[in-house]
Structure 1
Amino acid sequence: MSDETEMVQRGLGILTATLSWESDDPAATQMFKESLRALVKVDDGVSVSLAGGSPEEAAVLKGVLPQVVRQVIEALAPDYTRLLLGMAAGFKTVAEAYRRDVPDADIEGILQAAALHLAAQGE
């Protein structure tokens, strides 16, 4: 499974979890935020090619770069988390309205079918 497919699968998982998330429960909201933070990953296998400069300068940059990337991701993570929380809250509102209009709506089933379809495409 590609990294892109895995992230889409995780997104579908978040939407499924959103259906039972109660935003007025601080503990549930904190747990939800933590699960979103777990999506952010730093890949130490990122390769960087540097043109120009001395081998010593390149070695210093390659040594410092992973920490810089981590700091950038950590700086962006709160906004990313708020963005996803907003999207999840919007999805839950739409899902609840759909359930009111269509009492036997199987939203979890729709999400599961989307995840299975995505998995089948990735094979």
Structure 2
Amino acid sequence: MSDDTEMVQRGLGILTATLSWESDDPAATQMFKESLKALVRVDDAVSVSFSGSSPEQVAVLREILPQVVTQVIEALAPDYTRLVLGMAAGFKTVADAYQRDVPDADIQGILQAAALNLAKGE
């Protein structure tokens, strides 16, 4: 499975976890947050090439680059988390409304079918 497909699959996993999230239930909210932590991933493998630099400059860059990347990720993570939570809250609202209008709707089944179709498409 490609990294792109895996991230889309993780997105579907987040939506599936959202279905059981009840914002007024602290235990359900905690379970949802734990699901997000398990499903969201940040790659450690970052590849950067240097050209036109002296060996000394390359050595210094290789030494400080991991710290810079970590700081960038930490700076972006709160916004990314809020974005995902906002999308999940919107999805939950739509899914709840759909479930009220169509009580027999199998929303989890729809998400599972989407994940299977995505996996077949690879």
TM-score, normalized by length of structure 2?
0.89
Matches within 5 A, 1:73-92: 73-92=73-92
Structure-1 separation of matches of 2:64 and 2:43 = 14
Show CA shifts across 1:67-98 (max 9, x none).
21111111111111011101000000000110
Please give the root-mean-square deviation of Cα atoms over the aligned residues, in Å.
Answer: 1.6
- Relative distance call for 1:27 and 1:73 in structure 2 (3 A) is farther
Q: How many residues get paired?
A: 121
| Structure 2 gap segments, 5+ residues each | none
Which letter does structure 2 place at the counterpart of 1:43?
D
Identical counterparts, % of pairs: 80
Q: Indicate the residue corresponding to 1:61 in structure 2.
A: 61
Q: Indicate the residue corresponding to 2:110 in structure 1.
A: 110
The question of 1:9 aligning with 2:9 is answered yes
Extract structure 1 runs of 4+ deviating beyond 4 A.
Answer: none
Matches within 5 A, 1:31-70: 31-38=31-38, 39-44=40-45, 46-70=46-70
- Relative distance call for 1:68 and 1:31 in structure 2 (3 A) is farther
TM-score, normalized by length of structure 1?
0.89
Which letter does structure 2 place at the counterpart of 1:41?
V
1:40–1:73 contact (8 Å) kept in structure 2: no
2:16–2:111 contact (8 Å) kept in structure 1: yes
The question of 1:121 aligning with 2:121 is answered yes
Structure-2 separation of matches of 1:72 and 1:41 = 12
Which letter does structure 2 place at the counterpart of 1:6?
E
Structure-2 separation of matches of 1:27 and 1:74 = 26
Structure-1 separation of matches of 2:73 and 2:79 = 10
- Relative distance call for 1:30 and 1:56 in structure 2 (3 A) is farther
2:20–2:28 contact (8 Å) kept in structure 1: no
Matched residue of 1:15: which SS?
helix
Structure-1 separation of matches of 2:61 and 2:34 = 31
Structure-2 separation of matches of 1:117 and 1:85 = 25
